[in-house]
């Protein structure tokens, strides 16, 4: 039997009943539903520029054979680098229910403004602003999920959350294809301009929903749909794993973060993942299909969404397997081997259209790394909420920082999809191999070493 740690404060002196699976259904539903909807909008807004680019934007705005799409990605990444760590540390002192819906509404406004753009420079500025505010979404929601769920639950919950982003990527393609058929020219606007308007409209109810129903964290939740017992039990679940929130946002946070092994280990992993440029492969897929000159605009938008279906499948499977194994390294290694095959095909660039099509589609499995790494960070950082928040945000910012020059030099959109002159796929293959080995074996080794050292220090500290 369990007794609430706040029993006295609420005037209860009886033994509390054992928790049931339905005890947390309300918090789980509202927590995950908003998390998924928010990330759906984030990925929808992150992918819309790619769909617009192959659906008339390039021709209407007079883009030449240059790298305008790459520069739009670059300015977005610069904004994300600056915004991520700031917003996630702010989450440790500002209620997520206020911060996350606010940034969602703000970046959606900048998405709306894109429909008025007539020059590439205008798009660059707006993409920077979108990246700055969007950067709060992924690490911020992962941080909140880590506040509610046990180590054995994190991979599956993180995977479910990120899967909503995959659906956002897929939906962006379907939406653009539908707009091209039914809205092109309506109101004097091209279909690609309508895409940004519809994306903004979809974001408004999600932001309102978050303001009302998002439950914050177990430590500060005031959600009207949770009883006092449920709030206490949510805190106890994390306490039982030794992850009681400790530390505060003060000058000691710099020492705690800079001397941690998690900061360097996971940041390196995310940098390797970013340098594969896997998040841009869907763009290159669309450009390749367009270069074949055998597919219609709706087909060019719809076919690459098959990558999302693969991504969805792998997130479900890898999250489940990782939680059951209690280890993420073997799962990361298996996915890395599959990515190695795909990048080897891109490097060779064979004549077979079917083989290249299969490689592009299978590359969708790359996305399962993000929930696996996020769950790993949440589990390994224990109760240090500032360390956890900073590592989650910093690794994303570092990944964005290193991919900016790399994408421009190795994967310029003007040379897509073969990147023969820059040897882009060769470079990507090298980082796929580094990612596979580091996440498959390296992180496990580092974690075991530091866990052993910490256990060796505990008896000495107790004696003192």
Q: How far apart are CA 102 and CA 108, in angstroms?
A: 10
How many C-beta atoms surround the C-beta of residue 244 within 10 A?
14
Q: What is the model's pLDDT at position 438? A: 98
* Residue-number span of the structural domain to which 122 is assigned: 24-457
Q: Name residues whose C-beta falls within 8 Å of residue 432's C-beta, 6 or more positions apart in sequence.
A: 276, 336, 339, 340, 343
Phi, psi of 422 (to 5 degrees): -95, -5
pLDDT digits (tens, 9 = 90+) for 114-146: 999 999 999 999 999 999 999 999 889 988 988
Point out the residues of the chain with pLDDT beneath 50: 1-23, 462, 464
Q: Give pLDDT, residue 462.
A: 47
The answer as to whether 7 is a domain residue is no
- The CATH number that applies at residue 317 is 1.20.1250.20
Q: Are 267 and 398 in contact (CB under 8 A)?
A: yes
Tens of pLDDT, residue by residue over 398-448, are 998 898 889 889 998 889 899 999 999 999 999 999 999 999 999 999 999
Give percent of the chain with pLDDT exceeding 90. Answer: 49
Residues 108, 210: contact at Cβ < 8 Å?
Answer: no
At 260 the three-state DSSP class reads: coil
Distances (CA, A) of 287 to 76, 122, 350: 20, 23, 17
Q: Quote the pLDDT of residue 460.
A: 56
Q: Quote the pLDDT of residue 314.
A: 93
Percent of the chain that is helix, strand, coil (3-state, to 5): 80, 0, 20
CA distance 3 to 15: 6
Helices (H), 135-260: 137-148, 151-182, 191-213, 228-239, 252-258
Q: Extract the tokens encoding 220.
A: 């500060």
With b meaning 16 or more CB within 10 Å and e meaning fewer, what string describes 362-385? Answer: bbbbbbbbbbbbbbbbbbbbbbbb
Residue 119 lies in a domain: yes
Count of domains observed in the chain: 1
**Distance (Å, whole) CA 71 – CA 346:** 23
Q: Let me know if residue 299 belongs to a domain.
A: yes
14: in domain: no
Q: Is residue 121 part of a domain?
A: yes
The pLDDT value given to residue 24:
54
pLDDT score for 2:
38
Instruction: State residue 16 phi and psi, 5-degree precision.
Output: -80, 150
Convert the pLDDT of each residue in 71-121 to its tens digit: 998 899 899 888 888 888 888 788 999 999 999 999 999 999 999 999 999
Which secondary-structure segment (H or E) carries 321? helix 306-325
Q: How far apart are the first and last CA of the chain?
A: 34
**The tokens of 456 are what?**
């060796």
In a domain, 4, yes or no: no
Residue 173 in any domain: the answer is yes
The full 3-state SS of 25-38, as one line of letters, equals HHHHHHHHHHHHHH
Cα diameter, the chain: 78
- Residue 2 pairs in a beta bridge with 16
């Amino acid at each position: 039997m369990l007794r609430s740690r706040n029993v006295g404060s609420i005037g209860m002196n009886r033994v509390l009943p054992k928790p049931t699976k339905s005890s947390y259904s309300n918090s789980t539903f509202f927590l995950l539903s908003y998390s998924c909807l928010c990330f759906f909008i984030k990925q929808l807004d992150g992918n819309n520029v790619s769909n617009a680019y192959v659906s008339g934007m390039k021709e209407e705005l007079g883009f030449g054979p240059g790298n305008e799409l790459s520069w739009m990605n670059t300015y977005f990444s610069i904004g994300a680098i600056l915004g991520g760590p700031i917003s996630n540390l702010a989450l440790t002192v500002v209620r997520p229910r206020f911060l996350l819906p606010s940034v969602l509404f703000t970046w959606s406004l900048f998405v709306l403004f894109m429909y008025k753009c007539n020059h590439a420079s205008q798009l660059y500025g707006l993409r920077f602003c979108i990246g700055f505010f969007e950067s709060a979404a992924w690490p911020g929601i992962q941080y909140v999920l880590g506040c509610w769920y046990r180590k054995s639950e994190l991979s599956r919950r993180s995977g479910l959350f990120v899967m909503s982003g995959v659906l956002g990527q897929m939906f962006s393609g379907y939406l653009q294809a539908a707009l091209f058929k039914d809205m092109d020219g309506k109101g004097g606007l091209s279909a690609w301009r309508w895409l940004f308007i519809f994306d903004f409209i979809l974001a408004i109810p999600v932001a309102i929903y978050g303001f009302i129903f998002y439950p914050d964290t177990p430590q500060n939740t005031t959600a009207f749909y949770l009883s006092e017992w449920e709030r206490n039990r949510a805190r106890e679940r994390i306490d039982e794993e030794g992850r009681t929130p400790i530390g505060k946002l003060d000058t000691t946070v710099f020492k705690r973060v800079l001397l941690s092994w998690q900061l360097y280990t996971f940041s390196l992993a995310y940098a390797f993942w970013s340098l594969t440029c896997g998040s841009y492969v869907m763009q290159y897929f669309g450009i390749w299909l367009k270069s074949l000159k055998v597919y219609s605009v709706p087909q060019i938008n719809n076919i690459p969404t098959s990558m999302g279906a693969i991504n969805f499948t792998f997130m479900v499977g890898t999250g489940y397997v990782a939680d059951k194994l209690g280890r993420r390294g073997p799962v990361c290694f298996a996915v890395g081997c599959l990515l190695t095959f795909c990048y080897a095909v891109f490097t060779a660039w064979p004549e077979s259209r079917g083989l290249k099509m299969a490689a592009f589609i299978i590359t969708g499995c790359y996305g399962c790394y993000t929930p696996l790494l996020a769950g790993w960070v949440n589990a390994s950082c224990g109760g240090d909420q500032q360390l956890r928040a900073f590592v989650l945000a910093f690794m994303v910012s570092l990944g964005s920082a290193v991919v900016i020059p790399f994408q421009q030099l190795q994967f310029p959109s003007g040379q897509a999809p073969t990147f023969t002159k820059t040897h882009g796929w060769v470079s990507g293959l090298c980082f796929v191999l580094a990612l596979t080995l580091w996440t498959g074996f390296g992180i496990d080794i580092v974690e075991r070493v530091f866990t052993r050292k910490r256990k060796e220090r505990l008896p000495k500290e107790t004696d003192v």
